[in-house]
Amino acid sequence: MSKNGQNHWINAKYYPLFLKIMLKPPVEQLEKYYKTVRTPRMRLILRVQAEANRAVRSWLDSHGFLELLPPIIGPVTDPGIRGAKQVTIDYYGREYKVMSSAILYKQMLATAFDKIYFFSPNIRLEPLESATTGRHLVEFVQIDIEEADVDYRAAMSTAENLLAYVVNTVAETARQELEQLGRKLPRFKTPFRKITHAEAIEILRAHGEQVQPNAEIPWPQEEKLSKIINEPFFITDYPKGARGFYDKEDPQRPGILKDFDLMYPEGYGEAASGAEREYEYSKVLERLKQSGENPAKYGWYLDMLREGIRPTSGFGIGVERLTRYLCGLQAVWEARPYPKVAGIYSP
């Protein structure tokens, strides 16, 4: 599904085949995960995750980023969540959302503090078929990073240097745990390779995939591309219709966004997603209307933009997907002590 919510990431006629080749979640194990967290394997995975989180904070703190507390609820949240549904609660008679992503708040904070980050808990009610991808959780933690007065190329530099530091550091500090998990990490070297969305489409078509040039790259094809290139790399310049209203459109190339995805090698797919933000009131209002969003829901956000904020760029890295890559896990639910997989009732 696209990040603006359109359901087209897999054709319905291929869905039965898709289910056969994708992972089947271990329902009984997920329902009694209190047993799984006691296993030696799970303890190894969570120790690696702790080392990764420590490395993330070490790099960001040493590069002038300030860790702040993330929002949990608000009048609105990120609408560009690739087909997942938002969670709505009653907040003293008003409709509030549980955060699916804190992008709007990152813009607010970067204007005040220059360079910020937080470990943000997110909830997305993913479609049932996401339970078989091995890469989706309903509840997850995202490392959200935002910088003021930089463009998306600078944000990409931050992302690649951060990820290379974390992978290379964890390879050393968690060497024993990784060896027991049977995982040997390649050494990440910067700068990472960069291809445009149009080039990614050409590569996939050359390998027999029927992908659309003006849409989000579907999950299975994204993983295939990650195997084909097999090194950390960026996909840049997504078409306007593929992403949310907050990704800035390139004024020199109408219809092209100044954004990126950072990909893991070995078929693990997306590591981070980021962009230069649209921050001018009139342009955001126009993009909201174009994407079918009701501007009235974005009252505080539009008030903030009308009064003026600084241009920012940033990205988010999923902690569980990072752990999955570091540990070489088959599925992302193995990277969480109480995983929530779509449609499965678990602790």
* pLDDT recorded at residue 130: 85
Q: In terms of pLDDT, which residue wins out, 151 or 27?
A: 151
Report the C-alpha gap between 146 and 165 in whole angstroms: 18
Distances from the Cα of 4 to the Cα of 59, 196, 240, 282, 283, angstroms: 32, 19, 10, 20, 17
Distances from the Cα of 117 to the Cα of 16, 26, 137, 155, 170, angstroms: 41, 34, 22, 13, 20
Nearest CA to 279 out of 118, 153, 147 is that of 147
Rounded to the nearest angstrom, the gap between the alpha carbon of residue 3 and the centroid of all alpha carbons in its chain is 10
* pLDDT recorded at residue 151: 98
Report the C-alpha gap between 285 and 171 in whole angstroms: 45
* pLDDT recorded at residue 5: 37
Q: What is the mean pLDDT of the chain?
A: 91
* pLDDT recorded at residue 104: 95
- Local confidence band at 22 (pLDDT 50, 70, 90 cut-offs): low
pLDDT at 155 over 90: yes
Q: pTM of the full predicted structure?
A: 0.91
Give the single-character DSSP code of 2.
-
Residues 6+ apart with CB under 8 A from 67: 57, 60, 61, 116, 117, 118, 119
Q: In terms of pLDDT, which residue wins out, 329 or 4?
A: 329
The percent of residues in the chain predicted with pLDDT above 90, rounded, is 79
Q: Are the beta carbons of 330 and 134 closer than 8 angstroms?
A: yes
* pLDDT recorded at residue 8: 38
* pLDDT recorded at residue 147: 98
Report the C-alpha gap between 325 and 169 in whole angstroms: 14
Q: Do strands 312-318 and 88-91 pair parallel, antiparallel, or not at all (unpaired)?
A: unpaired
Peptide linkage before 191 cis (omega within 30 of 0): yes
pLDDT at 15 over 60: no
pLDDT at 131 over 90: no
Please compute Rg for the chain using Cα positions: 19
DSSP 258-299: SEEEEE-STT--EEEEEEEBP--HHHHHHHHHHTT--GGGGH
Which of 24-28, 119-123, 192-196, 223-227 shows the lowest mean pLDDT across its residues?
A: 24-28
Tokens read off for 254: 């109408």
Residues 6+ apart with CB under 8 A from 251: none
Q: What is the pLDDT of residues 304-326, one digit of tens each?
A: 999 999 999 999 999 999 999 99
* pLDDT recorded at residue 262: 98
DSSP 97-138: EE-S--HHHHHHHHHHHSEEEEEEEEE-B--GGGGGSSS--S
- Residue 263's DSSP bridge partners are 233, 270
Helix, strand, coil % over all residues of the chain, rounded to 5: 40, 20, 40
First vs last Cα of the chain: how many Å apart? Answer: 27
Q: What is the pLDDT of residues 261-280, one digit of tens each?
A: 999 999 999 999 999 999 99
* The length of the chain, given as a count of residues: 347
Q: Sign of the C-alpha dihedral, residues 315, 320, 323, 329?
A: negative
Report the C-alpha gap between 280 and 271 in whole angstroms: 28
Q: What is the pLDDT of residues 43-62, one digit of tens each?
A: 999 999 999 999 999 999 99
> Which domains occur in the chain, in start order?
24-335 (3.30.930.10)
Count of H helices and E strands in the chain? 12, 11
